[in-house]
A and B are shown apart, each in its own frame.
Chain A
């Protein structure tokens, strides 16, 4: 970054199973967003591999990674990142629209809008379909972002601090929504610096100084005749 090189990740290894709800925690600058971007092929590692279903992403042409981001990954960002000139319905539908050319455009547009309406209904924003992002609250925009991320039924939902820009109540609603999709089978990998948010996840991974310091999947709970000691990863 800048005029020098800064090592963000220094050999972090992570594997995610289908259906997991994984939270990556760490202080600011620990490399958690970078790890998320690498998982989503938004960024390129200097060394190491990113494999999806046994295939290395970065030994393939860029078109494979574009296709991966379009079909297998859904991103939810801290600042929502909706397209301001499109309305809510169009924002949700855009992942399907970018993958269709001239032939089949009309039917793709029809089905993507239908699926988008269904998703908006699930996130509770069916009546806001024709509104622009500037007319929505932060929580509503994040719901739209979640709906957009899920349009193509991706294998992986990557959320980078999805509640970071929301107040506690709205943030809790967003988390509940993510939990709901996860219970339905959606794999979720979420980045946060908030321990309270991390409590919601099945698995917590701690990142510090570019390496994974702890992974709750590797530390079993200890049962004894006495009170259960729950190990809490601070």
Chain B
């Protein structure tokens, strides 16, 4: 016990120990910040990935899709009511997207969804922009362009149903700051019929001089990824340059049941920009467009098509999305749905299938949302592990530094070691004193490091904003690249605990050689001269 007594006394009387404490502090803080930011990044990716998909996805594995999905939907409702809460089909393909008003053309991944069912199996609905402020107005069905107009008092107003929806949002919104921000800039208007304005604004509507209303031919709506249609500024906010309801053209390529292009010219579909979606993952928000399921199935010739013999092909989809009952384990559900699919194929599907149908059905697999995002999440996980290892290796410097400092301390404390041995302390006891001293350095350094690390992480976005204010080139976290507005600001207790433990153990390891040297000090030599 005298070791702790002396170690504590040495700790706050010897200046040299402060260098050891400082090095441990800096290393602990550094590793904690890195782990917290990367861990927060991974958690954000995982949570957002979770929201992207349904809990269980049945995927056909190819663009031409698989048939008999309606029958299997009914089958699961009948045989798995304890597992399946809701099920909805979806189709995906690739095509060209064009916004004539912006003169922008680019590739896009197109999903055909039943919007009212789709929002029940994941958190897609939470990321819709106009739906948030005008709830219940976003649809993929036929629609005209909403146009703002002038009221009797010459104020600019929206069509009555949009104004009512906005009122409903105000009544239910719990964050007064959000309402205040909305009122500062409720919407920007742009001249119709060619909304080519590039002015900023959270919400863009076309405008006319008459009363508000709807104009133009009815077309199906399309929801676009927010990074596909809007320009993201470096501060993470968007410049919306396209009015709601503006024309969008998709060019798509239908495939036959065996996956060949049908030979028809690519299908051009005229749509209206209904809303934009923000999942928080740039790779998705910059490439995705969502259209009505029935429309896409028809355009891609995946609906029932008449054969030359007069019979009809079975309609096809690419994915069946399952929302589970509360409390159901995902992997258990995956197992049961997989077994149900095999039973369905064995007992319910007719035996006279075409070869393409047999192939398509055989390629159907059932995945959890984690399976679907595994590659993406694993990439981020590996990134986190790599960065943590690299910074932890740098912390080896702290071990060496503590070793050097303690070697110097032992040199300076040779006389004290001689005195302790003269009064009966053993060599092992003296070694233990310096290891205890190092542990005390590690404990103090860890506590300070955790405090500094936590303060840094909790204020990291403010620090970055300040740095960017001093010099814009110092903005190291760019929302336009990373897709997340903010750097993660959460410190996990478990992370802080293991980092501190590792730091204390490392300090003790660093002191082993000096402690051994101290144990071997010959007291006579140490006490011989003043």
Contacts and interface: CB of A to CB of B under 8 A. Distances in A.
Interface stretch (B132-140, B180-188, B367-375, B411-419): B411-419
A63 B530 CA distance: 28
Contacts of B10: 85
Nearest to A78: B530
A66 B426 contact: yes
Contact of B424 (A43, A70, A79, A82): A70
B82 to A, nearest CB: 58
A98 B423 contact: yes
A62 B527 contact: no
A81 B13 CA distance: 18
B423 A148 contact: yes
Given A66-B424, A70-B423, A148-B423, A97 B524 contact: no
B424 A42 contact: no
B5 A97 contact: yes
A82 to B, nearest CB: 8
B530 A79 contact: yes
B423 A75 contact: yes
Interface in A49-95: 62-63, 66-71, 75, 77-79, 81-86, 94-95
Given A42-B523, A81-B527, A98 B2 contact: yes
Nearest to A82: B419
Interface residues of A, number: 33
A81 B426 contact: no
Contacts of A97: 1-2, 5
Contacts of A77: 422, 527
Contact of A100 (B2, B9, B14, B427): B2
A165 B530 CA distance: 11
Interface string B419-434: 1111111110100000
B424 A85 contact: no
Interface string B3-32: 001100110011000000000000000000
Nearest to A63: B426
By secondary structure, the A interface counts as loop
Nearest to B426: A66
B426 A75 contact: no
A37 interface: yes
A75 B425 CA distance: 13
A81 B418 contact: yes
A161 to B, nearest CB: 12
A67 B416 CA distance: 18
B419 A98 contact: no
A190 B422 CA distance: 16
Contacts of A43: 524
B423 A100 contact: no
Contacts of A94: 2, 420, 423
A75 B424 contact: no
Interface of B: 1-2, 5-6, 9-10, 13-14, 415-416, 418-427, 429, 523-524, 527, 530
15 contacts: A40-B422, A42-B422, A43-B524, A69-B423, A69-B424, A70-B423, A75-B423, A78-B530, A79-B530, A81-B418, A81-B419, A83-B6, A94-B423, A99-B424, A165-B530
